[in-house]
Amino acid sequence: MRNVVITGIGVLSPIGIGKEPFWDALAAGRTGFRPVTLFDTSSFRTNIAGEITDFDPLALLGKKGLRDLDRSTRLLCSAAKLAIEDGKLEITGEKTHTTGVAVGATYGSLHSISQFDRTAIIEGPRAVNPSHFPNTVLNSPASQVSIRFNIKGFNTTVSTGFCASLDAAAYAADFIRLNRADAVLAGGVEELCEETFMYFHALGYLSGADSSTASCCPFDARRKGTILSEAAAVLVLEDEQTAAQRNAAVLARFRGYANAFDPSAKENFHGTGAGLKRAVLLALEDASLAPEDIDYICACSNGSPELDRTETAVIKSVFGSHAYATPVSSIKSMVGEAYSASGALALSAAVGALHRNLIPPTMNFQLQDPECDLDCVPNKAKQHRVQNVLITAVDPYGQSSAAVLGK
């Protein structure tokens, strides 16, 4: 079985665009929360989100072929471009067939879907613009990456909600392990739009929905929910030997992964512990590592009362006495909850931690919660030797995923 390495990263996030600016922002503990400008928030009780305000698709992608692409697709194509450049990946000749795309995107562009439908309701089905129809399929953002960068090996969109981009990266790693591809652009995308904001607002996931000031403070006793954000992150996953042959700079190693389902899970992350525990244990086994080998846990905790408590309990249960010696931070305190893109953002942050031996902080931390008493690296990044990182993801419908990256 072949080994999988990471040789490039492209990130667009509310706290920075590009790998180094993203890592710098994480190191500095910069948060990306601001009033939404993309849509009218007057019908909601909060107007704060992690919007990417400095996104310039024209500068990143050029004018050609841009007109009919929605925001999700523009974000993902931009992240793919940055990743290809960062990894100095050449996708020409035979390599077009040995390179693939695996993307976590749960709603594709829910905004595109809903606008298309609402136009048909209001103006009649014959009034909708046919050129907008392709944007309504969930695999549109990923497929446009293939079209733009001529990637023909395979193209897969994974739609497992909060777990989606971690699952997509693992799917990509499997394809490399099984010799089905030599390199894969793996990542995720989620655009901020009225429709997804409405969904998370209505179901009680958002901080500020009780009209208090919105705050994303994972592990903090004051936490009352998360802040929704948008992001696109793409990693170049590559067969180790193929990467060596082209003298690629190896940023990290993809060491292991697993996912599991918890049939007893309930809304707002209630009862997801057994699934997460199983996923973490199996991921460690897949990586042939013991809990003591993990130097940093890039947590999925997002400020939801139940999720942060559950994740802490699972870490204690798996790591035993080592739990208190392991830094566990949530980058979502800075980048927010980017849903399907959150796993790819966490992988990108984990690579930064490995590269810089620097653990990103959990920002906005003020009040200790006795049930979340691990070292969450409060408010300030920490120098720490990092050999292996565990990355988690939990979806309230029942799935949990865990991945391990190494130096």
Partner 1 sequence: MMNTRVVITGLGAVASIGIGKDAFWDGLRSGTPGISPLCAFDTSKHFTHNGGEVKQFAAGKFIDEEKLHTMNRATHLAVASARLAVADAQFTTEQLSNFIVGVSHGTTLGAAQAIEGVDDALVHTTVVSADLFRQMPPHTAPAEIAREFKCTGPHFMVSTACAAGNYAIAHAYDLIRFKRADIMLAGASDGISRIEYTGFNQFSAVAPERCQPFDKNRRGMIPAEGAGMLVLESLENAVRRNAPIYAELLGYGLSCDAHHMTNAAVDGITACIRNALRDAAISADDVDYISAHGTGTRANDRAECAAIRDVFGDRYRSIPVSSIKSMLGHTMGAASALEAITCALVVKNDILPPTINFETPDPECDVDCVPNQARHHVVKIALNNSYAFGGNNASIVIGKFLQ
Question: How many angstroms from the chain centroid is the CA of residue 353?
Answer: 16
Q: Compute how many other C-beta atoms are within 10 angstroms of the C-beta atom of residue 241.
A: 11
Nearest by Cα to 13 from 328, 346, 236:
346
Q: Taking the complex as a whole, how short is the minimal distance between the CB of residue 167 and partner 1, in angstroms?
A: 7
Q: Taking the complex as a whole, how short is the minimal distance between the CB of residue 84 and partner 1, in angstroms?
A: 14
**CB closer to partner 1 out of 228 and 258:** 258
For the chain, the maximum distance between any two Cα atoms, rounded to a whole number of angstroms, is 65
Cβ–Cβ under 8 Å, residues 142 and 101? yes
Q: Taking the complex as a whole, how short is the minimal distance between the CB of residue 87 and partner 1, in angstroms?
A: 18
Q: Taking the complex as a whole, how short is the minimal distance between the CB of residue 36 and partner 1, in angstroms?
A: 18
Q: H or E element: which one contains 253?
A: strand 252-261
**CB closer to partner 1 out of 41 and 159:** 159
Can you tell me whether residue 246 is helix, strand or coil?
coil
**CB closer to partner 1 out of 139 and 388:** 139
Query: For residue 347, which phi and psi values (nearest 5 degrees)?
Result: -60, -40
Distances (CA, A) of 261 to 143, 145, 333: 28, 30, 26
Characterize 36-48 residue by residue with b for buried, 16 or more Cβ atoms within 10 angstroms of its Cβ, and e for exposed: bebbebeebebbb
**CB closer to partner 1 out of 57 and 398:** 398
Tokens of 244: 């060596």
Nearest by Cα to 89 from 185, 207, 228:
185
Distances (CA, A) of 224 to 227, 271, 305: 10, 18, 6
**CB closer to partner 1 out of 82 and 276:** 276
Q: Taking the complex as a whole, how short is the minimal distance between the CB of residue 405 and partner 1, in angstroms?
A: 19
**CB closer to partner 1 out of 203 and 250:** 203
**CB closer to partner 1 out of 125 and 370:** 125
**CB closer to partner 1 out of 381 and 394:** 394
**CB closer to partner 1 out of 174 and 306:** 174
Q: Which residue is it, tokens 């990471």?
A: 6
Q: H or E element: which one contains 98?
A: helix 95-98
Q: What is the identity of the amino acid at 374?
A: L
Q: Taking the complex as a whole, how short is the minimal distance between the CB of residue 184 and partner 1, in angstroms?
A: 12
Query: For residue 53, which phi and psi values (nearest 5 degrees)?
Result: -90, -20
How would DSSP label each residue in 141-173?
HHHHHHHHHT--SEEEEE--GGGHHHHHHHHHH
Please compute, for residue 223, the number of CA atoms within 13 A of its CA located in the half-sphere on the CB side: 31
**CB closer to partner 1 out of 194 and 295:** 194
Q: Taking the complex as a whole, how short is the minimal distance between the CB of residue 146 and partner 1, in angstroms?
A: 4
Can you tell me whether residue 134 is helix, strand or coil?
helix
Q: What is the identity of the amino acid at 389?
A: V
Q: Sign of dihedral through CA atoms 92, 93, 98, 103?
A: positive
**CB closer to partner 1 out of 142 and 359:** 142
Q: What is the identity of the amino acid at 51?
A: E
